[in-house]
Chain A
Amino acid sequence: MGKRIGIEVSLAIAEAARLANVDVVSAYPITPQTHIVEHLAALVADGELDAECIPVESEHSAMSACLGAAASGARTFTATAGQGLELMHEVLYVASAMRLPIVMAVANRALSAPINIWGDQSDVMAVRDTGWIQIFVENGQQAVDNVLCGFRIAEDHRVLLPVMVHLDGFYLTHVIEPVDMPEQEEVDRFIPPNRYPVPLDPARPVTMGGFGPPYIYTETKKAQEVNLTAAKAVVLECWQEFGHRFGRHYSPVEHYGSQEAKVLLLTVGSFSETAMEAIDRMRGKGRDVGQLRLRLWRPFPFAELRQAVRNAEIVIILDRAISFGGPGGPVASEIKSALYNEKHRPRVVSIVGGLGGRDITVSGFEDIINRGIEIAQKGSDQEFEMFGVRE
């Protein structure tokens, strides 16, 4: 087995990309992603990683160069955050539609204006429908593990889709944590070589990215949908194999506290670990509360989610993004629609908080749960409530 070290999570992610022996890193610096690409540049400069680093002039070009690199058959990695992810926006759709296996770490960050470099999940939610496989992580270990899994999933010939690994900016990127770094041989056995089936190669010419008029566009989108949905089985298989080899286990929806609790708090990302403290505290006082953490965001784990809430009467969802003038938090509205046609369905309460680096403490999570229960029981004249707004 590998060794446990204390390491900043950004550096650990770069080390994971090194262990995956990536060929091309194309990235543009943006807080709070910078330490990831700085460390990769240092690894290349010191000869510890044999890769081409492309220090592009924008995130649009970062992802565009990733398209070219992946299409040429190279193992390709990048990282970005917030505004950078938005500048990539149109390119993200092309990466998935053209079946290019790119792995990207996203240091989740708020969106301007006002400019704010701190963590929230507004950036993720804006790229929800880009056709990428999207995985949330809560700590450094999960980040490393899922970057490694990301390459194996993305390059699997049954998948051939890009993968985003989402981690909270600063809350995760800039903390030093104990992380088990696997050995090179273990990683080499876990991630097979990248053999992209149709690389750009003069010996076997292909036309990629042709023009799709109305008579074929719908079929291409159907194929993409079938492909992404089917990728879930490969994600599960990969996590199972990872657990078998490395002893750390991942699921699309994970429980904490009790699976039978009547009140569930659903969280996404690093706030989940703070929320766990609140769950412990409340359960210690005899409250029947539990926690759900959503790990797989796309393809959305409908069956697992429905199973996970089957005993619940109230599900309180904390979103760290807002849909202005809409149904509240993007995660909450997804959960609502996933449960709407169920015979037995819990009350779903949407709380928006933790925006732009605003912290939520353990007692804050207790307040959210208590307020959520109150809204579920008494109703509310709002679609959602914002937590912690200073009046």
Chain B
Amino acid sequence: MTKGSRARVMENSIAFGKRLVTKEEYFTAGHRACVGCGEALAVRLACKALGSNVIITMATGCMEVVSSQFPYSAWTVPWVHTLFENAAAVASGIEAGLKARRRKGRGAEAEVHVVAMAGDGGTSDIGLQALSGALERGHDFLYLCFDNEAYMNTGIQRSSATPFGASTTTSPAGRKSIGQVTWKKNMPAIAAAHGIPYVATACPSYPFDLMDKVAKGAAVHGPAYIHIFSVCPTGWRCAPELAVNIGRLAVQTGIFPLYEIEDGKYRLTVNVARRKPIKEYLQLQGRFRHLSDEIIGKIQERVDSEYAALVDKVSRARGNRQA
């Protein structure tokens, strides 16, 4: 089956979907993630796409805490956690170490995918410098950012990935505040600005799209970055059973579009013919419950303009391809 085609099959034939995915689990059941955790689902799917020939390094955060509590481990692949802000730097060292040993005939013969995983805080805040360094140096590794839009592990504090208007414990909505007053940092654009071969966005609500992208990112030579939208029912104050739906709505409203940037060229991987109003997405989540129609209107305007800018980049890339 060719790359990208699994997603199309999924659209047409949900019933046979599970045959397209390995039954092998690399991030196994029994971990301590919350009910309905979109991030755990995303990690599980990403690992299925990566397979067993992988070394994972993970930043401090929810997934590290829920998966590695001594003496248990949810991991059946080599996995290492060290600190919060350095997943990309640790990945650099692993990649360099394997490369040198392979070249010098000191073991490590087979090519292994080196993958760094971190949350939005570990990526767009405290780990941004280490990530930028590793992307710029061109290490052959894949970086997966699991974005649940706040510091959930420490108790829902705002990060630079928290969306405008969201109430968190450090950007609380109050009589004089609408909650977060800044717009979400555009991490995929920052990653892409490094001129790396592959950047993508993904969401586990679109599992085949996610897995195709992870496989693609692991296969490219050089750095790849995938920003994965991970619904957090605990932090977003939404019903756990709605996690997958809310992920779909994020894509269908256009607040989190699914696209990829290959060698600088943008392509939408999930086309949304008619975007739904942003209110449909916001109203399911307690973190936005305080927002007035006026503020929701402002968010709608922002989503519209950002989506238009993205579509513009996509059509320019298409134009170039045709020319």
Contact = CB atoms under 8 A, between A and B. Distances in A.
A326 interface: no
Interface in A284-322: none
B142 to A, nearest CB: 14
Given A52-B97, A202-B112, A91 B82 contact: yes
A108 interface: no
Interface string B81-125: 111011011111111111111011011101010000000000000
Nearest to A23: B100
Contacts of B77: 202, 205
Given A193-B106, A201-B108, A216-B70, A52 B90 contact: no
Contacts of A211: 64-65, 68-70, 81
Contacts of B52: 202
Interface stretch (B14-22, B53-61, B204-212): B53-61
B130 A64 contact: yes
Nearest to A58: B129
Contacts of A201: 55, 78, 108
A26 B108 contact: no
A210 B70 contact: yes
A61 interface: yes
Interface residues of B, number: 51
B55 A61 contact: no
B93 A69 contact: yes
Interface in B24-76: 52-55, 57, 64-65, 68-71, 73, 75-76
B155 interface: no
A327 B161 CA distance: 46
* Listed residue (A58, A64, A71, A73) with the most chain B CB atoms within 10 angstroms of its CB: A64
A98 interface: yes
A70 B57 CA distance: 13
A219 to B, nearest CB: 10
A209 B100 contact: no
Interface in A2-34: 23-24, 26
Interface residues of A, number: 47
A216 B94 CA distance: 28
Nearest to A28: B133
Contacts of A90: 83
B68 A52 contact: no
A207 B76 CA distance: 8
A58 B86 CA distance: 11
B93 A64 contact: yes
B315 to A, nearest CB: 35
Given A64-B90, A69-B93, A207 B104 contact: no
A175 interface: no
B86 A200 contact: no
Contacts of B94: 68-69, 71-72, 200
Interface in A159-183: none
Contacts of B54: 202
A359 to B, nearest CB: 37
B307 interface: no
Given A23-B101, A23-B106, A60 B91 contact: no
Given A24-B93, A24-B97, 9 more contacts: A26-B92, A52-B100, A57-B136, A61-B133, A65-B90, A71-B90, A72-B97, A76-B93, A207-B75
Closest 4 CB pairs of A and B: A68-B93, A57-B133, A74-B97, A65-B93
23 contacts: A52-B97, A54-B92, A56-B92, A56-B133, A58-B130, A61-B129, A68-B91, A68-B94, A69-B97, A71-B93, A76-B93, A91-B82, A94-B83, A194-B106, A201-B55, A205-B76, A207-B73, A207-B78, A207-B79, A208-B78, A208-B80, A210-B73, A211-B81
